[in-house]
Amino acid sequence: MSEHLQLLSTFVADTAFRQLPPSLIEQAKRHLLDTLGAALAGCDSDIWRQCVALAREEAGNGSAQLWGSADEVTPRQAAWLNGVAAHMYELDDTGGCDHSGAVVVPALLAALPLAAQPVSGEALLTAMVVGYDVGRRVLEACGGYEPHNEAGWHSTATCGVFGAAAAVCSLLRLTPAQCASALGIAASFSGGLWAFIHDGSQTKKLHAGRAAESGLQAALLAGKGITGPGAIFDDRWGGFLRTIAPESQQPDALAAGLGEIWKLARCSIKPYASCRGTHSAIDALSNLLTAHPEKKIARVRVRLNPFLMSMCGGRELASLAAAQMSLPYALTARWLYHDAGLESYSETRRLSKEAAAMMERIELEIDETQGNNDEPVVMLETQQGECWQEHVPVPSGSPANPLSDQALFAKYQQLAQRILPAQACQHIYDLCMHLEHVTDVRELSRSLKR
């Protein structure tokens, strides 16, 4: 077994709740609540219903709760379907594997029926932190988000499977050797391409669910004694990093600061129903419109880096998936509808004549001086020839610019109440916010039943 894999598997097996900083525990509870809210909203989508119909055609005894439904399905189906729901509307968290919540949380709650004894809130939070950590570390070992993305890989799927496997291993108390096998198996289950970006197709919505399902399956197989390759992170033919990140790999990132630098701490909660790359520009436009409310706006210009232009510069709105990757539409939604939330991405709104006319007044231009991590500059020009510009280097929802407790609860409540009654939503909120005191988290799983 390679040194990196040995260190990582020991970390997964041995990390305990008492080692987690209090601030990290509080953040984990916020991300858990946010993921559940996003997932409940995702249960009100055609894609999710079609996936559920497929699952119902499969044989199997149901023991895991399908969120936002009266149904119980197999654990693997629950991880997949709940993961699809969590990532459905681009409202799940980001900055981990990238979308860690939509991968880790569905896998964890799906594994509850498989635990030998009731799982405490402390154990669930510990497993969640471990899953976020490992998924992000694998992405950093690939060289980070930008080179991995530029190579065509969707990291939520390719790296998220490791996070899901690690989380379930922690929850089920597997040995270090079993954890190592689970990560090795997860490497062979890894996959996920950015091909959807070219036509607004729907595979992105499936990636988080498949990573959650595959990570769960990898942990379960390892628990049964199935071995995984021990050299997956070595620079060898057939290894994960040489195969998927041959030019950008940084294997030392797997264990750098392990148990000291917690990757959940860098994750963001999204205030808008669009790709995270659009959020700084939405914030900037909001600031400009608030500062100059009476002005007649002629156009909005955005200077952005080439990477962001290639990812979010499109103007195709026929599908929800395409619209959520469009920076011009994100700004249109904020300008026209005063909000870039889920309602502004409805078919009626995004395909309206008013939206089409407004988008024509939004211009994007590449700024070669900006790096791939730089946020765009937004300029607002009036019909009288006045011009103001705004740059928000840290978008709202980031760890350095977090949503308030009130804003987080409002987002969760708005999403969850699309599916569940207010009383049930409040109960889930109370459980999440006091999870370290819960002795059996199956209560949380049961609360997600419609």
Q: Give the domains, in start order, of the chain with CATH numbers.
A: 3-271+409-448 (1.10.4100.10), 276-391 (3.30.1330.120)
**pLDDT higher than threshold 70 for residue 203:** yes
Question: Which residues contact residue 261 at a Cβ distance below 8 angstroms, ignoring those fewer than 6 apart?
Answer: none
- What pLDDT does 296 receive? 86
Extract the tokens encoding 417: 């109440």
> Is the per-residue pLDDT at 145 higher than 70?
yes
Report whether 215 contacts 162 (CB < 8 A): yes
If one counts every other C-beta atom within 10 angstroms of the C-beta of residue 222, the result is 28
> pLDDT digit string (tens) for 36-81?
999 999 999 999 998 898 888 765 667 899 999 999 999 999 999 9
Beta strands in 228-376 (DSSP E): 297-304, 362-366
Decide if pLDDT at 176 tops 70: yes
Tell me the C-alpha distance between 124 and 113, whole Å: 13
Q: What residues form DSSP beta bridges with 111?
A: none
What span, in angstroms and rounded, lies between the C-alpha atoms of 194 and 153?
6
**Residue 8: CA count within 13 A, CB half-sphere:** 35
Supply the mean pLDDT for the chain: 95
Q: Looking at residue 199, what is its pLDDT?
A: 84
Radius of gyration of the chain (CA): 21
C-alpha distances (whole Å) from 373 to each of 262, 265, 341 are 21, 18, 24
pLDDT for the residue numbered 271 = 96
In this predicted structure, the answer to whether residue 122 has a pLDDT above a threshold of 80 is yes
251 secondary structure, DSSP code? G
Q: What is the pLDDT of residue 197?
A: 86
Give the model's pLDDT for residue 60. 67
Is the pLDDT reported for residue 293 higher than 90? Answer: no
- Tallying the residues shown for the chain, one arrives at 450
pTM: 0.92
User: What are the residues whose beta carbons fall under 8 Å from the beta carbon of 58, sequence distance 6 or more?
Assistant: 74, 77
* Kind of pairing between the strands at 297-304 and 387-391: unpaired
Q: What is the pLDDT of residue 57?
A: 75
pLDDT reported for residue 163? 98
